[in-house]
Amino acid sequence: MSEARRFIEALEADVAAGRRCYWAITHPDDGRVVGTLGFNFLFPPEQKMADFGYGLSPECWGTGMFGAAARLVLGFGFDQLDLDRVQVMTPAENVASVKAVERLGFRREGTLREFYPRTAGIRRDCAVLGLLRRDWK
């Protein structure tokens, strides 16, 4: 619970500072927060690019909740934030994550080898996927 609180507090601070624009995904049956998704602004504003971050409780995987929420948020990014490009960086071995964003129209652009810090002595590769405004419509 304390880890979840720290995560939410960090998100709120980043949103307030303009470093992120994030939403909660709530379960349609009971309103519980089951995930988050949104934009991380890692690039200068004039580049009109954002990193797309997301996380969803495993109990909701395969339900279509992520796809529905992601389409709304990506539409907001292209239409309201006037983004030209959105990218995703995810562990390359997370095939489900890669496939989920590919279903949204993201295209695999490459792999950053041994990008993620060591976990149990092993560094992991990062898959980079991009979605352009012209491919969204």
pLDDT of residue 100: 95
How many Cα atoms sit within 13 Å of 41 on the Cβ side? 19
pLDDT of residue 13: 83
On whether the CB atoms of residues 105 and 131 are closer than 8 A, the answer is yes
**What is this structure's pTM?**
0.88
pLDDT of residue 11: 83
| Higher pLDDT, residue 84 or 6 | 84
Q: Which H or E run contains 100?
A: helix 95-103
In the predicted model, is pLDDT for residue 41 greater than 90? yes
Q: Which residue has the tokens 């939403």?
A: 23
On whether the CB atoms of residues 47 and 72 are closer than 8 A, the answer is no
CATH code of residue 70: 3.40.630.30
Per DSSP, the residues of 41-76 read --S-GGG-EEEEEEEE-GGGTTSSHHHHHHHHHHHH
Cα 65 to chain centroid, rounded:
14
Q: Is 132 exposed, middle or buried (0-12, 13-18, 19+ CB in 10 A)?
A: middle
Per DSSP, the residues of 76-97 read HHHHTS--SEEEEEEETT-HHH
pLDDT band of 52, cuts 50, 70, 90? very high
In the predicted model, is pLDDT for residue 4 greater than 80? no
Range of the structural domain that residue 40 is part of: 2-136
Q: In this prediction, what percent of the chain has a pLDDT beyond 90?
A: 70
On whether the CB atoms of residues 15 and 21 are closer than 8 A, the answer is yes
Tens-place pLDDT, residues 56-112: 998 988 889 999 999 999 999 999 999 999 999 999 999 999 999 999 999 999 999
Count the domains in the chain.
Answer: 1
pLDDT of residue 72: 96
pLDDT of residue 7: 82
pLDDT of residue 133: 97
